[in-house]
Amino acid sequence: MIKKFIDKLLGKSSGATRFGKRQEVPASVHGIDPALVDERAKNVVTTLQQAGFEAYVVGGAVRDLLLGLRPKDFDVATNATPEQVKNLFRRAFIIGRRFRIVHVVYGRGREHEVIEVSTFRAYMDNAAAEQVKGNERTSKGELASMKHAVDSSGRVLRDNVWGPQEEDAARRDFTVNAMYYDPANQVVVDYHNGIKDAKKLTLRMIGDPATRYREDPVRIIRAIRFSAKLDGLGFTLEPKTKAPLVDSSKLLSDVPQSRLFDEMLKLLQTGHSIATIAQLKKLGLSTGIYPLLDVVVERADQPFVTAALQDTDRRVGEGKPVAPSFLLACVLWADVRDGWAARIAGQHGQRGQPSYPALQDAIDDVFNSRIGDVSGRGKLAADMREIWMMQPRFDKRIGATPYSLVEQARFRAGFDFMRLRADVGEVSEEIGEWWQEFSTADDLRRQDLMDQVRDEQKKGPRVRVRSPQAQQPKQGQSQPRAAAPASASMPEPEMAVPPDGEAVAPRKRRRRRKPRPEGGGGDQASSPSE
């Protein structure tokens, strides 16, 4: 009694309020269809329970099950420690520093599935946590020995103190994501009226929203992501949860850029990118979260970027894999294309560059100005570069280039990129259809397709776009364009990337010799060098 009185004077809530009241909701009430639960998630729960631990399907998967949807991902929560979980499964890996969790892996290659297993965490008072002056990077050595630590703003940097289930529920973000489902007895454990909010189609933050956003500013991005994902089902953000979002967004400046980059990709690759951008504008957060995301929102109405976002949402909806490199290559293509054209034309009175090095330099400029070192210039950057570097090669449809191009590992990504360009009128539909057929045809049909291109080049007028290095026109000749239009395939065939992918300088034309009396010269249109 005295303790309750003191807590009241100090403004502390009772445990029953802070941690909620445990409700065990039977199948007759929640109505979850057991057939919607993934067998591998069931296996993880069963294995842990048979070993004597508590285990439940948790989070967004339970929310989706309540709505009659088949979840794409399944997470499991347990009172077993990460080391105990790892010892129960053949392919299990402990990951993370800030939050230590276990990935249990089933299958291999593209067909593999990961069940994420987390240990119940204690509800810790941040005032009692160890405090560091810097962030994750600057205080890495200091944080290594800590289980619960915050920075000067109250942002949680370490949270690996285990506790009971009711405390684990209290430290989750939204009420509809804080429910636990036991597939064995088909009971849902609910501490914060998540089932009630799910039926009311309400997204409500557990606890004081402003405090929760300060503890982990990434919750702001999660609020956007969930509201966009569930908007189609009629969900809305509770007013108290929505109100602090704009003011709290300033806290994101303290979050490591690599983590923001990963969160941005989640916003764009969960199958609701169009809805997410609409939600960002609606909430007044279209700028300021992450520089590259600002570019995506700004360009979302451009036909090419719109097509890329719609294509990404479609593929996710169909259960097909999506690559961040492809979408980001689409978003930044305008910068690459315009920089490429400007370098070919020549800048500030300087002589124009050959097409291939001009494209390389334009790509380097875009990486430096738009992406920086977040991607580590690793696979993501390499895949983006390869997609862009393929584009001029699609103009080359005779000789050895078509054969070598379709054999490249990233051909399908480069081809899909080119088809999107064709869909918005940036390149000819005919080129897209030609490559579609060539990529799937046998050798005989491929030769026919190249012969058709060669015949068309013979019949049509021979118009060449002179390279920036070509000599000036003679008196009386028309002045060539300074640069190829940005919406066209820019380099002329001689300037395209050769079959082996190496850059070469444009070949000088040989002087045509006078024909001998017994024969005439050959047609350049059918020359092997073309």
Given CA atoms 382, 384, 390, 392 in this order, what sign does their dihedral have? Answer: negative
From 73, 338, 361, 423, active-site residue:
73
**Rounded CA separation 324/85 (Å):** 31
* Catalytic (active site) residue 173: yes
| CA dihedral of residues 187, 193, 195, 198 (deg, nearest 10) | -160
From 75, 159, 168, 311, active-site residue:
75
**Rounded CA separation 489/311 (Å):** 22
- Short-list 467, 240, 443, 447, CA closest to 358: 467
The gap between the terminal CA atoms of the chain, to the nearest Å, is: 93
- Enclosing H/E stretch for 6: helix 2-9
Six token digits for residue 64: 């989706």
**Rounded CA separation 226/203 (Å):** 8
Three-class SS of 325-372: HHHHHHHCHHHHHHHHHHHHHCCCCCCCCCHHHHHHHHHHHHHHHHHC
**What is the C-alpha radius of gyration for the chain, rounded to an integer number of angstroms?**
30
- Short-list 37, 43, 67, CA closest to 55: 43
Tell me the backbone φ, ψ of residue 57, rounded to 5 degrees: -70, 140
Residues 6+ apart with CB under 8 A from 56: 45, 76, 77, 78, 180, 181, 182, 189
Tell me the backbone φ, ψ of residue 499, rounded to 5 degrees: -55, -35
Six token digits for residue 401: 């280039």
**Rounded CA separation 81/147 (Å):** 14
**Rounded CA separation 172/207 (Å):** 10
From 151, 159, 168, 173, active-site residue:
173
Six token digits for residue 80: 């077993």
Six token digits for residue 156: 């949680």
Summary count for the chain: helices (H), strands (E): 25, 13
Which amino acids are annotated catalytic? Answer: 73, 75, 173
